Amino acid sequence: MRALTAAVLLAGCAHFSRSDQPAAILTDTQLGYALTLSPSQAWAINSATGRAVSAAGVEVRVGMLHRGQPSTALACRAAAHEFIAKTGAPEPTDQGLQAPWTFTLHPPNGDTVRVLWAFWPSGADCLLLEVTGPETAAQKAFGDALDSFRVLPRDPNVQREMDLEAAVKLLTTGDYAAALERFEGLIASISDVALLQYGALMSAYALGPNAFARALAHGQAALAIRGNGALSADHRRRALETVGILELSMEHAERALVPLSELVVRAPRFAEGHYNYACALSLSGHVDAALKELGQALALDPALAAHAKNDRDFAPLAGPHFDVLMHGVSAAPSDAEEDP
C-alpha cells in the first residue's frame, strides 16, 4: 500500500503515453481510484509509485490519509491541513464538492511549489489527489483529474489488509481515538484474532480513564483467545500487564490477581510486574504474599522503594515487615527486566 508522506517519491520504471493514445490513465486498484489525464501533455506514468509526470514539469499523484471512521471531503481536507500545518500553507476556503485546496509552498531550498489538492472519502480513509508544477499546466491537469477521478470498490480482503495497516499506523503515530475506531471496526467482523483485540486494548488504554472500560473488555478478549489466533509470547506479556493495571485502576483488586500472577511467571525478572502483583495481593488481603512479591520487586529494582513508601495500595501492609523492606533496600543498580 502507498500512503501520502512528505518524503520524496521513490524512483521506478516509467512508461510514457504515446501521442496517438487518447489520454493517460493513472489507476490503482488497491488504493481504489482511477483518473484520466489530457493527452495535450506527454506523460510518464510510474505505476510503482502511483504518479505521473509531464514534459511540462507537472506531477500528479494520489495518496491516502488514514482516519478513524467514514468521513467527508471537507473532513479529509481538515485532516490534511492539520498534517501540514507547520508548512505555513494558508487556510482553505473553497467549499466545493471535492474540497479543493490550492496554495504555494516555499521550501528551504528556495524552489516555489504550486500545490493543488482535492479529496475523496473512501471508507474510513481519504484519497488525496495532488498536482504540482507550473501554474497554467498544473491547473489544466488538475481540472482534467477532477473531472475524471473515480473511487473504485476494493476487494474485501484488500480492504481488511488496508484497515489493519491503517489501525497499526494510527496507533504508532499516537492517533489513539482513530486507531481504536479502526481496530473495533475490524473486530466487528473478525472477533477471534487476538492481535486485533490487543491493538484495541492498547489504543483505548492510551486514551485514559474514560476509555478504560473499553480497554479492559478488549484485553480480556485478547487473553481469552487461544490457538492460531492467539497472541505471541511478547504481546501476551504486555497484555497481562496492561489488563492487570486496568483492573487495579478500576478498583478490581481480586480480578487483577489473575493476569498479574501469570505475568510474574512469564516475566520473573520484570520488577514492575512483581510490584503490581504485590499491590493486588495487598488490596485483596493477602498480606504475607504481598510482602513476598514486594520484596521480589525491590530486589530486582531498588528504586521502586521510593514509590512504595507512599503507595496507598500498601497501606494494609503497614508494620515491622514492611518497614524492614523499606529500610533494607540498597541503592544498588537495578537488575530488572525492561518493560516487556
> Is 108 domain-assigned?
yes
Q: How many CB atoms lie within 10 A of CB 56?
A: 16
Question: Is 94 or 240 the better-scoring residue by pLDDT?
Answer: 240
Task: Based on the fold, state whether residues 174 and 147 are members of the same structural domain.
Answer: no
Query: Looking at the predicted structure, is the pLDDT value of residue 127 above 90?
Result: yes
Mean residue pLDDT across the chain: 85
pLDDT digits (tens, 9 = 90+) for 19-39: 344 568 888 988 899 999 878
Query: Looking at the predicted structure, is the pLDDT value of residue 8 above 60?
Result: no
Listed residues 115, 131, 154: the one ending a domain: 154
Number of domains in the chain: 2
Task: Based on the fold, state whether residues 247 and 150 are members of the same structural domain.
Answer: no
Cα separation, 340 vs 328, whole angstroms: 27
Task: Based on the fold, state whether residues 146 and 206 are members of the same structural domain.
Answer: no
Domain span at residue 296 reads: 157-327
CATH number of the domain enclosing 39: 3.40.1000.10
Listed residues 154, 182, 210: the one ending a domain: 154
Listed residues 88, 119, 154: the one ending a domain: 154
Structure confidence at residue 216 as a pLDDT band (50, 70, 90): very high
Task: Based on the fold, state whether residues 223 and 243 are members of the same structural domain.
Answer: yes
Query: Residue 27: CB partners within 8 Å, gap ≥ 6?
Result: 33, 34, 35, 152
> Is 262 domain-assigned?
yes
CA 147 distance to own-chain centroid: 33
> Is 271 domain-assigned?
yes
Task: Based on the fold, state whether residues 188 and 201 are members of the same structural domain.
Answer: yes
Question: Is 66 or 12 the better-scoring residue by pLDDT?
Answer: 66
> Is 192 domain-assigned?
yes
pLDDT digits (tens, 9 = 90+) for 142-155: 999 999 999 999 88
Structure confidence at residue 194 as a pLDDT band (50, 70, 90): very high
> Is 235 domain-assigned?
yes
Task: Based on the fold, state whether residues 180 and 134 are members of the same structural domain.
Answer: no
CATH number of the domain enclosing 181: 1.25.40.10
Backbone angles phi, psi at 250, to 5 degrees: -95, 15
Is-contact 144 37, C-beta < 8 A?
A: yes
Query: Residue 137: CB partners within 8 Å, gap ≥ 6?
Result: 41, 54, 56, 57, 58
pLDDT digits (tens, 9 = 90+) for 221-235: 999 999 988 999 999
Backbone angles phi, psi at 45, to 5 degrees: -105, 125
- Whole-prediction pTM value? 0.76
